[in-house]
Amino acid sequence: MRKQIAAANWKMNLTYQQGEQLLDDILNAKIALKDHQLTIFAVPFPYLIMANSEITDEKNYFIAAQNCYSKKSGAYTGEVSVEMLKSIGIKYCVLGHSERREYFSESNQLLAEKINICLSLDIIPIFCCGEPLAIREAGTQNSFVETQLKESLFHLSSEQLTQIIIAYEPIWAIGTGKTASTEQAQEIHAYLRSVLAKQYGKATADSISILYGGSVKSNNAKELFGCPDVDGGLVGGASLIANDFIQIIKALK
């Protein structure tokens, strides 16, 4: 079975003390993850070391950075390199979140560079793709997300691609309370997998985890995760509430 993943994206939320308490509350639930299940916390940069120390003895719990820079090192004040993340034991990095694309004008080409540097240092990218409301309403979401995959990922070898986690974000469902129906989620996830299969073959496509990232909540996670091509979620607001995220972890296949 593909890896089934509950990934928390804290975004720019919580103080250090609140973040520490949230991790404690979730870990104290003592959820025993199966071999094919992962829980990942994408926390703000100042909390990475603390969070990584919290999960040290936990099986299949990991910490992710929410971003990285596209260069190895240099005079880039305020940026954080993949080498820095590697040096503190971080194993995952979220790339191309819709907020990074929208607010910071991150292009597919820039994200390809970030993918490359992460893979070169054995940090696993959680690559986000997805369409805004206007694209969904025009019915062109398939070609839109296909372009995102092609321009950021299709330079990779099959072996490199299998190291990546993909997160599909219907941007129109992030923070709006709207959620894609299970049918919509399954349809677009299956399409993404078909795009990968056309380029890399069915076996490679079938091995890649594709997460759903649009207003996943404790009361809809089980239904969403039950879709054949939905391999968990990249969770925003609900990941900031211990009891909600505990239920989301428990909803993994």
Report percent pLDDT > 70 for the chain: 98
C-alpha–C-alpha distance, residues 209 and 232, integer Å: 8
State the residue range of the domain holding 88. Answer: 4-250
Residue 174: which of 226, 218, 235, 224 has the closest Cα? 235
Q: So which residues are the catalytic ones? A: 97, 169
pLDDT at position 206 is 97
Residues 6+ apart with CB under 8 A from 113: 70
Residues 218 and 243: beta-carbon distance below 8 Å: yes
Q: What is the pLDDT, as a whole number, of residue 145?
A: 96
Q: What is the pTM of this model?
A: 0.96
CATH number where 146 lies: 3.20.20.70
Number of domains in the chain: 1
Classify the phi-psi angles of 74: left when phi > 0, otherwise alpha if psi is within -120 to 50, otherwise beta: left
Q: Which of 106, 72, 119, 97 is nearest to 7 (CA)?
A: 97
CA atoms within 13 A on the CB side of 152: 28
Q: How confident is the model at residue 101 (pLDDT cuts 50, 70, 90)?
A: very high
Q: Which residue has the higher pLDDT, 121 or 173?
A: 121
pLDDT mean over 95-107:
96
Q: How far apart are CA 22 and CA 36, in angstroms?
A: 24
Residue 178 in this model has a pLDDT that exceeds 90: no
pLDDT in tens, 220-248: 999 999 999 999 999 999 999 999 999 99
List the end-to-end C-alpha distance of the chain, in Å, as a whole number: 9
The string of pLDDT tens digits covering residues 39-70 is 999 999 999 999 999 999 999 999 999 999 99
- What burial class does residue 126 get, using C-beta atoms within 10 Å of its C-beta: 0-12 exposed, 13-18 middle, 19+ buried? buried
